[in-house]
A = this chain, B = another copy of it.
Amino acid sequence: MIDTKPAAPNALPTPYLLFLGDVTETGFAKTAFALRDWAPDSCTGEYVLPGGKVSTGLQPMTPAQAASQGARSLLIGVASPGGIIPASWYPALFDALDAGLDIVNGLHTKLSSVPKLHSAAQDHGRRLIELRRPPEGIPSGTGTRRGGKRLLTVGTDCAIGKKYTALSLAQAMSRRGMLVDFRATGQTGIMIAGSGIPVDAVVSDFISGAAETLSPDAPDEHWDVIEGQGTLVHPAFAAVSMGLLHGSQPDVFVICHEPGRKHLVGYPDFPTPTIEEIIDLTVRLGRYTNPAIRCAGVAMNTSALSEDAAYRLLAAESNRLGLAVADPVRGGQAFESLVSACISD
């Protein structure tokens, strides 16, 4: 079980009632599915509106029913076409406040776009929590060495498995009886962990400081497994990756890669870097805040391959790179070897 002790001021009111609105395509519900998969104990049930066609399979219930079962918030677990909060959702949001639930929102569109919701929240003494709002009081980075060990997932692109890999590694380490915390840096990860800092919403002068705050000083044997963001070669987001790397001062990093991906998602003029390139850059830049930084191995997304082809590729890459290479989804011995490579000196 992943330890969900709050790491940062942004502790969320769990457990959640997952709100699926009236979305009709599963692609819009990735957040809800991730919560069901990674934080089932944080989910009381789901609430789907008439017309909605997507379900997580969790127990369906209204806000009032969820509240009576101990739920503390309604979490918007779906995106919406156009990114706005549709009027069809409004009654559910007000019902949630009536029932005594806070509302947790990770959409770009703020809850303040819903007329009268803010005053309703005030009347009921409830919180409207915006996960994309920059947190307050984040200090600048210091570069000071902190106690404990840290692992960072590092990507050759965005949307390549850094969160999933971090969650898998943390879970595996926890199963081995280790003291470990998953540290979330994105909205979904924060919802899963129940706390964290959305680093892409932090002002750039404070990104390293945010990363330092996210994985504070800890006992020597404790591990922070930190969700990476972006990639160091990204024309739009490399700054986030850089600040997160410095502030996390990781002892160990795991590369996340998808074989066959030719260019950065959304940036067709930018070829995906090689694994070696990112290993080299990460060591080069990461050394400034942790001279001992090393690459433990590679997590590959082999979902496009057959099982045979996948295992052949993982073995071949492991040979080629001289590192542990595994697919966290497929698990197995290769993944256990990757875990071992992370935690051994």
- Given known A134-B203, A202-B203, contact A142–B235 (CB-CB < 8 A): yes
Which of A49-57, A169-177, A205-213, A315-323 interfaces with chain B?
Answer: A205-213
In chain A, positions 129-185 with a C-beta closer than 8 Å to chain B are 134, 140-144
Q: How far is the CA of A281 from the CA of B284 in the complex (A)?
A: 9
A236 within 8 Å of B (CB atoms): yes
In chain A, positions 232-263 with a C-beta closer than 8 Å to chain B are 232-233, 235-240, 242-243, 246-247
Chain A residues within 8 Å of chain B by Cβ, number: 36
A204 within 8 Å of B (CB atoms): yes
A12 within 8 Å of B (CB atoms): no
Residue of B nearest to A143 (CB): B235
Q: How far is the CA of A32 from the CA of B285 in the complex (A)?
A: 37
Q: How far is the CA of A269 from the CA of B145 in the complex (A)?
A: 10
Q: How far is the CA of A239 from the CA of B142 in the complex (A)?
A: 14
Interface set of A (CB-CB < 8 Å, partner B): 134, 140-144, 199-205, 207-209, 232-233, 235-240, 242-243, 246-247, 267, 269-270, 281, 284-285, 288-289
**7 A-B pairs with the lowest CB-CB distances in the bound complex, closest first:** A143-B235, A239-B243, A141-B236, A200-B205, A239-B239, A242-B242, A204-B204
